Structure 1
Amino acid sequence: MENRVRNSKNEPGGKGPFAVLSRWLKLEGVLDDTLPARFTPYALFITVMGIIYIGNRHFSDRTIRKIDNMEAEVEDLRADFTTLKSEYMFASKQSEVARKVKKIGLQETRIPPYKIVVNEDDYKR
């Protein structure tokens, strides 16, 4: 009959949900000093590695989002650059410049440019 007496250390008594859960999971051995003391360094190492892994994953996700945003911004800036470049090229054509300066009274010359020749004697005074 001594074998049937419950020991409070080894087996929890009662019919409550926690007692049933404790009997089902058999947590008594885990809470002894022998098991955790032996595996504590490994458990801490795995915990630290897990935290580093999670942090690295968040960092890489954030970096990927930043890269995607930057690529979209670069594409927008490239489109703006192309548009502005084509407008500048159109506005700097000789016919467009002549049309714009005609409004302020300037006219395009019909005489070709000529070269001014200076003699060496005139240059050295």
Structure 2
Amino acid sequence: MAENRFRVRENEKPKGRGFFGFLSAKLKLSQSWNSQLPVKHLPKVAFTVLLGVFYVWNNHYAERTVRQIDKLEDEVEDLRANVTTLEANYMYSSKQSEVAKKVKALGLEESMEPPAKIIVEGNEY
């Protein structure tokens, strides 16, 4: 019985070796292992490398986030101190004696008479 053979077309160029063939040729792994690159292990190695890259990226991201949180906590503490100072100044400047000092320049004076109470009868309203 005759063997099956592929027809070789003359106008077709032979295909390249692909990425792993190129990698094997550049790294010259065939000389060190006396065979081709063991392709069956490459998906596991690629997955492990991908996990390593993700782990390093995640670690850098977490450290950057912690630095940002520390910076923002310091800023919030400064703002809280500023608010407390501003509130104290506002409360001091809104005292009756301080308001009287500020409006004296405008020619206004404090009334020395107590306020009069206005009484409205129920039928007048």
Aligned mates of 1:85, 1:36 — CA distance in 2 = 73
1:19-60 Cα deviation digits (max 9, x unpaired): xxx9xxxx622x733x63232121011101011111101111
1:61-89 Cα deviation digits (max 9, x unpaired): 21112111111111111121121111111
Q: Give the drift of 1:119.
A: 1.8
Aligned mates of 1:63, 1:90 — CA distance in 2 = 40
After TM superposition, the score normalised by the length of structure 2 is: 0.67
Show structure 1 runs of 4+ deviating over 3 A.
none
- Matched residue, 1:97: 99
Unpaired segments of 5 or more residues in structure 2?
1-27
- Matched residue, 2:111: 109
The size of the alignment, in residue pairs, is 96
- Matched residue, 2:123: 121
Aligned mates of 2:115, 2:58 — CA distance in 1 = 69
Unpaired segments of 5 or more residues in structure 1?
1-21
The CA RMSD over aligned residues, in Å, is: 2.0
The 5-angstrom pairing of residues 1-125 of structure 1 reads: 28-29=32-33, 32-33=35-36, 36-123=38-125
Aligned mates of 1:91, 1:64 — CA distance in 2 = 41
